[in-house]
Structure formats: structure tokens, C-alpha cells
Amino acid sequence: MHKLYPRPPAAELVMVQPATTNENVEMYLKYIYLLIKDTGEPARTGELSHVLKVSPASVTEMLEKLTDHGLARHAKYRGTRLTSRGSRIAVSILQRHCVMEWFLAHRLGLPEGRFHEEACKMEHALSMDTARRLRTLTDQPDTCPRCYDLSKLHCRYLVAKPRRGRHALAR
């Protein structure tokens, strides 16, 4: 073994645990949740197709999978509602998304649009413990994620703060 790179103790050789749901499932759950929150009605296949930028056939296929796995209840021509388990997963992913958006916008100074794209990539890998710790570094309101605005693709209170000089991370 090379002396510069000693092998870490066995306790440190823990593989990343696979998520209980994949990113695609999480995205569907998140947007079903947001559509229901915005309209008060079941999420429609056409609406999901539009916001996720996928074909209606792909939406129907995923809704059947979500229903089979007990995450949603889909009724043809009536729309889709989440089960309590599906809602818990959706809220969890949305909470992680929101805290990442606040952190990226307020602490790193990413511009509007970019902080959303980056948060979408990170939300699936971020643990709730890390999200809680990041939240302490922002002034994110307690209303998140209930204040998420689907038309803006971020919290209605979130406005990107411009970076100021070399010390943008310092408060």
C-alpha cells in the first residue's frame, strides 16, 4: 500500500446507500404534489406531461408504476392523487430542493434560473440531515416548502441576491 494514500479504516469504507426511489419517481411525485397544491384538484396527465416535458404516454406509464408501488392513486380521465407515502416522499424531496435553492441563491449568489437547475440536480442526493444543516445558513422562511410557486419554479419569497466581491459566502 502506498504511504501517501493509506487505506481508510473499514468503518470509513461505507458505500453510498441507494435511494428508496429513483430520481425519475421523485420528480413525478414532486410535480404531482405541486400541481395538486396549486389547483386543489388531482394532477392531470396533460399537466404532468407539460411540466415534466415528457409525452403523455410516458406519464401514463409512470403513473401506473406509482400506483402499483402504493405511491399514488391514478384514475383514468380523473387524475392522480398521492398516497400518504407518496406525499411524504414528495414533501421530503421538495424540502431538500427548497433548501438547496435558498443556499445557492443567498449564500453562493447563483442567479435566478440557475439556482433552480442546480437544486434539481442536488435534491436527490442531499440527506435530510445535511438539508437541515444548510437551512441554518440561510434565512429560508418556515413556510417552505408550502410557499413553492410552480409558475416561478421556486419559493415565492426567494429572490436571488447578487454576489458581492470575494467574500460572497460571508454573512
Q: Where are the domains of the chain?
A: 23-82, 93-161
Residues in the chain: 171
Do residues 104 and 118 make contact, with C-beta atoms less than 8 angstroms apart?
yes
How far apart CA 101 and CA 134 sit, in angstroms, is 11
Which of the four pLDDT bands, split at 50, 70 and 90, describes residue 78? very high
Q: Tell me: the pLDDT tens digits for 112-124?
A: 778 777 877 777 7
Which of the four pLDDT bands, split at 50, 70 and 90, describes residue 68? very high
How far apart CA 98 and CA 104 sit, in angstroms, is 10
Helix axes 56-68, 45-52, angle to 10 degrees: 110
Helix axes 84-102, 23-39, angle to 10 degrees: 90
Which of the four pLDDT bands, split at 50, 70 and 90, describes residue 107? confident
Task: State mean pLDDT over 167-171.
Answer: 39
Domain 23-82 and domain 93-161 have a common topology: no
Task: State mean pLDDT over 130-140.
Answer: 79
Higher-pLDDT residue of 167, 91: 91
Q: Is 77 left (phi over 0), alpha (psi -120 to 50) or beta?
A: left
CATH of domain 93-161: 1.10.60
CB atoms within 10 A of CB 79: 21
How far apart CA 112 and CA 79 sit, in angstroms, is 31
Res 74: pLDDT: 94
CATH of domain 23-82: 1.10.10.10
Do residues 107 and 139 make contact, with C-beta atoms less than 8 angstroms apart?
no
Q: Tell me: the pLDDT tens digits for 30-45?
A: 999 989 988 899 999 9
